[in-house]
């Protein structure tokens, strides 16, 4: 493994299958931003990974909170007049 100072970016060529309309939108987004389609896709994936990490942190922070099952939750909503 290379040190942080000498780390080079290595790219992997891959194929993905997208809905035609989604792909057209992706191409428009790339053209409007001056980025490549690959860059837009990579940014979206990075954003999703960061969001997942944030979700995992939240789950970890809340792991000791009391749990409530769905049926009990619905009963409480009904009792409170919310359903």
Which of 55, 24, 52 is CA-nearest to residue 37? Answer: 24
Query: Do the domain assignments include residue 24?
Result: yes
pLDDT tens readout for residues 25-65 = 999 999 999 999 999 999 999 999 999 999 999 999 999 99
pLDDT confidence of residue 36:
97
Number of domains in the chain: 1
pLDDT confidence of residue 9:
84
pTM value is 0.63
Cα–Cα separations (whole angstroms), residue 43 to 50, 63, 67: 11, 30, 35
Query: Do the domain assignments include residue 57?
Result: yes
- CATH code for the domain of 52: 1.10.1220
Averaged pLDDT of the chain: 92
Range of the domain at 23: 10-64
Which of 57, 29, 23 is CA-nearest to residue 43? Answer: 29
Give 3-state DSSP helix, strand, coil % of the chain, rounded to 5: 65, 0, 35
Pair of tokens at residue 61: 């922070």
Query: Do the domain assignments include residue 15?
Result: yes
| Res. 82 pLDDT band, cuts 50 70 90 | very high
């Amino acid at each position: 493994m290379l040190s942080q100072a000498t780390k080079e970016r290595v790219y992997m060529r891959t194929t993905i299958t997208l809905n035609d309309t989604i792909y057209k939108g992706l191409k428009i987004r790339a053209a409007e931003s001056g980025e490549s389609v690959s860059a837009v896709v990579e940014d979206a994936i990075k954003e999703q990974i960061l969001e997942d990490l944030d979700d995992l942190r939240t789950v970890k922070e809340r792991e000791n909170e009391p749990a409530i099952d769905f049926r009990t939750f619905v009963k409480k909503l009904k009792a409170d007049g919310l359903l």
